[in-house]
Chain A
Amino acid sequence: MVRHLAAGLLTIGLALAFAALVLGYQPDAELNRTALYYAENTAKDLGSQNIVTAIVVTYRGLDTLGEVTVLFLAAAIVGLILAPGRGAEGAGRRGAPPPGELLTTGSRMLTPLILITGIYVFVNGHLTPGGGFQGGAILASAALLVLLADPGHRFAHRTIETIEGVSGVAYVAVGLLGLAFAGGFLDNRFLPTGRFGALLSAGAIPVIYTLIGLKVGAEFASILANLTETEERR
């Protein structure tokens, strides 16, 4: 009871502080200096239509490399923590009824479409809303569909790990190419920036986002596979 009261009082206090923030908030009328720089120079310097992508992949590319590393660590630790509980290969789906004809056919039909949508989203990350993380999440949702339709399904962990490792190493390699042939680490301009708005433009941004998409998709898929396979042991 005391705990609820204390939590309630804390929440009310914070609510008052937040209310003052909300009521006194006025949206900016002009872009601030950082945003103004991005707005004026992105198209000229990097040739990327989507400014958010330019910030994520190039202006703050090192940040994104760190982010991908954090995600990799999370996936690896999930695998490590759950490893002792993982059932033997093929031992899964005890007692669960086999998936029906409709479910199997439907998931088989939808999986390639979902994969293509994911690839579309990360390949066009520099032109339209979307990018490597979003596309990677869509790729992993295909894995989720397969697991929901047939919880006994086993993914080839080796393949997932290979995709993840190769794309991670290639990401750093592309960054080093930028260091060698352009302005600095993860600079996208060692490839020609091309015609503004074309699919093959913005230098290395589509390459980097494709690699991020594959890596994120593989990481999410391995998290999903680890969680499902552990669950089946009980």
Chain B
Amino acid sequence: MITLSLAVGFALVLAGLYGALTNRNILRMIVSFTVADTGVNIVLVAVGWMRGRTAPILDDAVPIAEAAQRIIDPLPQALVLTAIVIGLGVTALMLAYAYRLYSTAGTLDVSKFTELKW
């Protein structure tokens, strides 16, 4: 189970990285980055998983006294919450820049932008 989650997460990271490296269209690159982002989040959440334990919420199912034996690591979940929100902000920024690039250069093909090429 944990192997499957980790494998899916890493596969998404690799797919996103390959897509970002090989695609020429800026929109496709942005989509690739979001795929890789999702993969990283899946891996991080999966790392917090522990066998036979439940979510870190101390309701009727988890008495406070037994919390240390019954819940999984809450920290990766808190970190992933941050990562998701920042990822969304970055994606919105990338889309806005892509729009500006398109309106100034009339193309989204990244090989047409040669000003900073060396």
Q: Which residue of B lies closest to A34 (CB)?
A: B75
What are the residues of chain B within 8 A of A179 when measuring CB–CB? Answer: none
Among A18, A43, A70, A230, the residue within 8 A (CB) of B58 is A43
**Min C-beta distance of A67 to chain B, whole Å:** 5
How many residue pairs at the A-B interface have CB separations less than 8 Å? 145
Given contacts A29-B50, A52-B56, whether A18 and B21 have CB atoms under 8 Å apart is no
Q: How far is the CA of A210 from the CA of B89 in the complex (A)?
A: 20
Q: How far is the CA of A115 from the CA of B85 in the complex (A)?
A: 20
Could you tell me if B85 and A67 are in contact, using CB atoms closer than 8 angstroms? Answer: yes
Could you tell me if B82 and A32 are in contact, using CB atoms closer than 8 angstroms? Answer: no
Q: How far is the CA of A85 from the CA of B99 in the complex (A)?
A: 10
What are the residues of chain B within 8 A of A227 when measuring CB–CB? Answer: 92, 95-96, 99
**Min C-beta distance of B76 to chain A, whole Å:** 9
Write the A12-40 contact mask toward B (1 if CB under 8 angstroms, else 0): 00110011011101011101101110111
User: Size class of B's contact patch?
Assistant: 35 or more
Q: Which of A55, A131, A227 has the most CB of B within 10 A?
A: A55
Among A3, A49, A60, A223, the residue within 8 A (CB) of B21 is A3
Could you tell me if B68 and A14 are in contact, using CB atoms closer than 8 angstroms? Answer: no
Q: How far is the CA of A220 from the CA of B89 in the complex (A)?
A: 9
B59 within 8 A of A: yes
Could you tell me if A70 and B93 are in contact, using CB atoms closer than 8 angstroms? Answer: no
Write the B53-70 contact mask toward A (1 if CB under 8 angstroms, else 0): 001111100001001100
Could you tell me if B56 and A51 are in contact, using CB atoms closer than 8 angstroms? Answer: yes
What are the residues of chain B within 8 A of A50 when measuring CB–CB? Answer: 56-58
Could you tell me if B6 and A22 are in contact, using CB atoms closer than 8 angstroms? Answer: yes
A172 within 8 A of B: no
Given contacts A7-B21, A78-B93, whether A133 and B85 have CB atoms under 8 Å apart is yes
**Min C-beta distance of A213 to chain B, whole Å:** 12
Q: How far is the CA of A32 from the CA of B88 in the complex (A)?
A: 30
**Min C-beta distance of A216 to chain B, whole Å:** 7
Q: How far is the CA of A82 from the CA of B94 in the complex (A)?
A: 12
**Min C-beta distance of B17 to chain A, whole Å:** 6
Could you tell me if B78 and A78 are in contact, using CB atoms closer than 8 angstroms? Answer: no
Q: How far is the CA of A6 from the CA of B16 in the complex (A)?
A: 15
What are the residues of chain A within 8 A of B17 when measuring CB–CB? Answer: 10-11, 14
Could you tell me if A52 and B77 are in contact, using CB atoms closer than 8 angstroms? Answer: yes
What are the residues of chain A within 8 A of B10 when measuring CB–CB? Answer: 15, 18-19, 21-22
B108 within 8 A of A: no
Q: How far is the CA of A135 from the CA of B89 in the complex (A)?
A: 16
Q: How far is the CA of A128 from the CA of B84 in the complex (A)?
A: 19
A161 within 8 A of B: no
What are the residues of chain A within 8 A of B86 when measuring CB–CB? Answer: 67, 70-71
List the 10 shortest-distance A-B pairs measured between CB atoms, nearest first: A74-B89, A7-B21, A51-B56, A18-B10, A55-B78, A35-B73, A51-B74, A78-B96, A81-B96, A39-B67
| Pairs across A and B, CB under 8 Å, 11 listed | A25-B3, A28-B50, A28-B73, A31-B71, A38-B56, A42-B58, A51-B71, A55-B75, A74-B90, A81-B100, A131-B81
